[in-house]
Structures are given as C-alpha cells and as structure tokens.
Amino acid sequence: MKTLLERPISESARHQLPDDIHPVLKRVYAARNITGKDDLDNSLTRLHSPVALKGLSQAVDLLMAALQKQERILVVGDFDADGATSSALMVAVLREMGAESVDYLVPNRFEFGYGLTPEIVKVASATAPDLIITVDNGISSLSGVAAARQQGIRVLVTDHHLPGSELPRADAIVNPNQPGDTFPSKNLAGVGVAFYLLMALRGRLRESGWFERGERKEPNLAEFLDLVALGTVADLVPLDHNNRVLVQQGLQRIRAGRCRPGIRALLEVAGRNASRLVAADFGFAVGPRLNAAGRLDDMSLGIDCLLSANPAQARQLAEQLDALNRERREIEADMKTQALEHVKQLHFDADHLPMGLCLYNADWHQGVIGILAARIKERFHRPVIAFAPAGSGEIKGSARSIPGLHIRDTLDAIAARHPEVLQKFGGHAMAAGLSLAESQLPVFEAAFQAELKERLDEQALTGVLESDGALDAGEFNLELAELLRSAGPWGQGFPEPLFDGCFTVVNQRVVGEHHLKLSVRPDGGRQALDAIAFNQAAEHQLAKGQRVRLAYRLDSNEYRGSLGLQLMVEMIYILK
C-alpha cells in the first residue's frame, strides 16, 4: 500500500496563471510548475529549433548526398514501439523526399539482440547499403559501427539513450544526450530525434531547390506527427513542454481523422474511439500491441502496419498484432505468478525486503521480462531486474527502477567495480537492459545489492502516491471530467490529475475476474458515483455502507454512444 501525499502547489505559479482557468485545473497546473500561457501553448511554433542539436549539420550532409546520388539507404531500428515509429517515420519521409532505395531492418531480439551489432551489419551487407541510419539505437554500438565502416558503409546514428564513456566512430551522431550537445530538451524519444533530423533535412532541401526539380512535392511533416506522438508516449519519456507539443499535435490530427491507416486500425482493434483519443490510449492500447511484435515475433510486422497505405491490409496486420498482444498477456500473467511465488519462497519479511530484486527463471520469455520487471516493481516499490536465458550460457536482464535510483548509472558503477561480470548494458534512468553469463548471476546480484545500499535509503523504498487534493461534492460532474481529459496531454513527468477523498460504498461487484466495479457516495454529496478499480478485486472485499478513502482520477466513460462520469480508482484505503 502506497503512502498518499498531497502534491505541493507553487502559489507563485498559481497566481501567474490566467483567471479564466477553472480553479481545479489551475491548482493542477500550479502543482506541475506551469506558470503562464506560454507553458500551455502547445502549437508547433513552440517547438525548440533543431539548430542546437550537435552533429545535425553533418547528418544532413550525409542525407543530402545520399538523396542526390540516389544511394541505397538502410534504416536499422529497435524492436519496441519507439523503434517501430522511428523506423516508419524515417522510411516514409525519405521516400516522400525522393529517396528511391530506402528500406529498414530490425534485429530479431532473440537472434541478434539490441542495436547495430557486427552480426546485424553482416545481415545488412547482403543488400549492399551505402548508408545505414540507426533510429532509437546506435549510441552504444561501437563494434557494429566499426564493422560497417570497415565494409565501406557510412553510418548515421540517431539515438536518445545515454552514451557510455566512448562514442561510436560514426560519420555523424545526432543525440541530445551526447556530450557537448546544447539542445534545450534532453527528453526527446528516438522518434523525436528522427523527426528533428528530418525537419532540418527538409529545410536544407528546400533551400537547395530540391523540391522544385523533378516535380517532387515537399512533404508536410506535420502529417507524420501521429507517429511521433505514439512513439513519444509509448517510450515513457518525460513530457516536458517540447514533448507535449509533439504529442498534442499528433493527437489533434488523429482526432480530426488525419491519421495513417495503421494507427487507425490499431485503435480500432483496441476498441478506442479515435475522435476522443488521449495520450494514455497510446500507452495502454496502441503501444502494447506494437511492442508485442518485438517481444514475441518480429517488429517488422508492426512497422509494416504503420507504413501501410491500404486500410484493409493495415487492419489485417493490426489484428495479427492484437493476437500477439493477447498471447503476450498470457505469458506475462504466468511469469508474474512464478515471480511472486519465487519472492515468497525466499522467506523475506514483507516489511523487510531487500533493496532490490533480481529474478531469474530458465523458462521465462526474453520478450516479456521488461514488463514483468515493471509489474513486480509496482508491487513492491523496489528496483527489479528480471532475467531470462539467451542461449550459450548467457542470460539477458531487463531492469526497472524507482525514483531516486538512476539504473543505468548503477549498472555502470557495477561494471567499473566488477569488469568481468557484465557483458553489455545500456538504457535510461528508469529502465535498462543488460547481459551476463548465467554463472555470474550470484556475483552480479551481490554487487547490485551492495550498490543499492550506497545509493538508496529506506525513505526511497516507501511508495508514494501524490494527490492533487480533494474535490468538493459539486465538482463531481462530467464537464470537469471532460475539461481535465482535454487539458493535457498527460503522461510521464506531467501526470494526469489524481484526487483523493472519503466515500461511502453503496455497492460493489467483481467484473472481469480481477476488477472491482463500485458505486460510491462522496462525503457531503447525495448522488452515488460509478467507479472502477482495476486489478484490485483480490485485495479488497468491500461491504455496503463501508467508509473508504479513494485515490482516483475523474474521467468520462463512453458507453453505447453516451458519456457518463466515472472514477478511475488508483488506490483504496479502508477507514475504520
């Protein structure tokens, strides 16, 4: 059970916000350090200029030369939703700009692992590319880049992951997190980096008269913002103002029906109404279906869906992705049960778990360990690394962290102290991947626990749920729910409003085996409200008349063409 705390509000920010903003929304914005209309302006004019991106000029030079000479271009992506959207964006836009030979390749995670490896370069060389462009990977591909250049293939790295102590010797690197880069936002997803590069390329092509020759039509890059929005949200990068602009602009185009067939088909199979799309739908409905291809099969399926211009073909591919996602859920559920049983068998006191959990099972699926680590982290509020076998005595791990622990830096420190343990690693502050010999797992786990003792304290291991305070009885209305829904985009680093208050249970029932469907009456109110608490049926059996404190989101539920008010319950606290 998480501790519920009220989110601190910047009073100076609240006073700077316009008076015509609803008082509840003003409170919400002030708690997220929004200080004025400029912070709420999500028009494209608010995007940061690309010029500060280090390496951008060299990257555009490479692409200009490739276009002018009609060289063979190969895009090498990652096998997650950010990688899929980045690959589709790069391929689609370069084709529209006049590239006659551009294709993509995504490593199969089970055969080649992550990134531009020498093995992938060998596969790529069969098509004799002149230029390889990495998207959402490459910053740690030292040997892969070297292998490509040895074969006379130029390499352009576009990435957003944190670099190691050494950069690959690519012909150009565009990454806002590389040393010496002064781009104002360090939170771009891989698809955001690709979008910025393509913006700069279009500008250079326009200046050169490229689009006036050969009857080429200059592409409107705003038409590709549905891909950028999807990849940005699905990759869980912080939604700073620059990313909110990218996401909001993509959402608006999808709501207006200006959406590529693949994303429309994915929304349809997920049961989402495109005209009422919010950022969370990317994270909970579309992203997982794309990711399922990379986790269980081949991400080419997802990229082909995003690239398809044929609605019927896109729908067929989306249905295949939906089926893979259902399979992924079944595998994940079994693995989660096994993981929780494993933790139970370790006989830890529930109140004195170790600072971090390393979980390994020889039967686990490589493609699902990232989700498993995230689920176990949510359950115990501990850093978690889940491992699965990778063949030839090697295991691969997926790490998920908690606020206060930079997991990639933690792995870097372990690698420095125990250079013989980790074969490779990389990632972000909150998520990372790693590989090691199975025989080294006990050594690694001991080093991991020792590192956590230096970096974490007990306070960091206490889960906190931040609330935006209580709502008055008169504020439980559909108008406010719709206002909050449209006031984002909400997401990582810019959380959707969460409120808390005391209620009386009118009735409850279990739906879908795991969820609680509730009717509750707020203190001071007469009308009972619908509420749903997902995956909490096993934790609570509530009686009629019981008093509870709920942490909830105010939302509107669309059912059979009509809208109704509904509380999305995050946490239930029993009152005595």
The contacts of residue 563 (CB under 8 Å, 6+ apart) are: 478, 482, 556, 557
Domain assignment of residue 4, yes or no: no
Same domain, 250 and 397: no
Tell me what pLDDT residue 21 has: 93
Q: Which stretch of 202-206, 424-428, 446-450, 530-534 has the lowest confidence by average pLDDT?
A: 424-428
What pLDDT digit, counting tens, does each position of 17-70 carry?
A: 888 899 999 999 999 999 888 999 999 999 999 999 999 999 999 999 999 999
Domain assignment of residue 119, yes or no: yes
pLDDT at 258 over 70: yes
Q: Which stretch of 30-44, 156-170, 338-352 has the lowest confidence by average pLDDT?
A: 338-352
Q: What stretches of 431-490 show up as alpha helix (H) in DSSP?
A: 441-455, 478-486
**Contact between 357 and 384 (Cβ < 8 Å):** yes
User: Confidence class of residue 449 from pLDDT cuts 50, 70 and 90?
Assistant: very high
Final residue before a domain boundary, out of 435, 461, 487 = 461
Domain assignment of residue 31, yes or no: no
Q: What is the CATH number of the domain that holds 97?
A: 3.90.1640.30
User: Which tokens hold the place of 392?
Assistant: 């030839």
Q: Name the residue with tokens 């539920």.
A: 557
Same domain, 188 and 70: yes
The count of C-alpha atoms lying within 13 angstroms of the C-alpha of 493, restricted to the half-sphere facing its C-beta, is: 17
CA distance 390 to 294: 16
Q: What is the CATH number of the domain that holds 567?
A: 2.40.50.460
Single out the residue of 101, 99, 57, 104 nearest to residue 85, CA to CA.
104
| Peptide bond before residue 403 is cis, with ω within 30 degrees of 0 | no
CA distance 547 to 541: 12
CA distance 137 to 87: 11
User: Confidence class of residue 76 from pLDDT cuts 50, 70 and 90?
Assistant: very high
User: pLDDT above 70 covers what percent of the chain?
Assistant: 98
Name the residue type at position 405. Answer: L
What pLDDT digit, counting tens, does each position of 355-373 carry?
A: 999 999 999 998 899 999 9
Tell me if residue 92 falls in helix, strand or coil.
Answer: helix
Same domain, 145 and 261: yes
Mean pLDDT of 464-492: 94
Tell me what pLDDT residue 210 has: 93
Domain assignment of residue 16, yes or no: no
Same domain, 264 and 125: yes
User: pLDDT above 90 covers what percent of the chain?
Assistant: 77
The Cα-based distances of 28 to 2, 10, 316, 507 in angstroms read 21, 10, 41, 30
Single out the residue of 126, 151, 147 nearest to residue 138, CA to CA.
147
Same domain, 377 and 358: yes
Same domain, 301 and 196: yes
pLDDT at 109 over 80: no
CA dihedral 172, 178, 181, 184 (to 10 degrees): 120
Q: What's the domain count of the chain?
A: 3
Final residue before a domain boundary, out of 461, 478, 509 = 461
User: Which tokens hold the place of 522?
Assistant: 């707020």
Tell me what pLDDT residue 379 has: 86
Rounded (5°) CA angle 32-34-40: 120
Final residue before a domain boundary, out of 403, 432, 461 = 461
pLDDT at 247 over 80: yes
Domain assignment of residue 566, yes or no: yes
pLDDT at 350 over 60: no
The contacts of residue 77 (CB under 8 Å, 6+ apart) are: 83, 84, 86, 87, 104, 105, 106, 134, 135, 136, 137, 299, 303
User: Which tokens hold the place of 487?
Assistant: 């006031």
Mean pLDDT of 161-184: 95
Single out the residue of 116, 75, 56 nearest to residue 307, CA to CA.
75
The Cα-based distances of 256 to 221, 253, 307, 416, 434 in angstroms read 17, 5, 20, 52, 42
The Cα-based distances of 465 to 22, 47, 219, 265, 480 in angstroms read 24, 31, 44, 35, 22
Long-range contacts of 537-541 (CB under 8 A, 24+ apart): 537/510, 537/513, 538/514, 539/572, 540/516, 540/572, 540/574
**Contact between 147 and 160 (Cβ < 8 Å):** no
**Contact between 546 and 468 (Cβ < 8 Å):** no
What pLDDT digit, counting tens, does each position of 527-560 carry?
A: 999 999 998 888 888 889 999 999 999 999 887 7
Same domain, 410 and 473: no
Single out the residue of 68, 86, 75, 90 nearest to residue 124, CA to CA.
75
Tell me what pLDDT residue 136 has: 95
Domain assignment of residue 105, yes or no: yes
CA distance 391 to 395: 7
User: Confidence class of residue 287 from pLDDT cuts 50, 70 and 90?
Assistant: very high
Same domain, 397 and 355: yes
Tell me what pLDDT residue 349 has: 60
The domain in which residue 472 lies consists of 465-574
pLDDT at 576 over 90: no
User: Which tokens hold the place of 325?
Assistant: 């996602």
Same domain, 302 and 170: yes
Domain assignment of residue 2, yes or no: no
pTM over 0.85: yes
Tell me if residue 108 falls in helix, strand or coil.
Answer: coil
pLDDT at 348 over 70: no
Q: Name the residue with tokens 């919400």.
A: 28
Same domain, 475 and 532: yes
The per-residue DSSP string of 369-427 comes to HHHHHHHHHHHH-S-EEEEEEEETTEEEEEEE--TT--HHHHHHHHHHH-TTTEEEEEE
In whole angstroms, what separates CA 541 from the centre of its chain? 33
Taking each helix axis as running N to C, give the angle between helix 300-307 and helix 261-269, from 0 to 180 degrees, rounded to the nearest 10. 120
The per-residue DSSP string of 148-189 comes to HHHTT-EEEEE--SPP-SS----SEEE-TTSTT---S-S---
Mean pLDDT of 371-389: 92
Same domain, 363 and 437: yes
Same domain, 229 and 355: no
Tell me what pLDDT residue 367 has: 87
Question: Mean pLDDT across the chain, nearest whole number?
Answer: 92
Domain assignment of residue 22, yes or no: no
The Cα-based distances of 184 to 54, 242, 246 in angstroms read 11, 9, 15
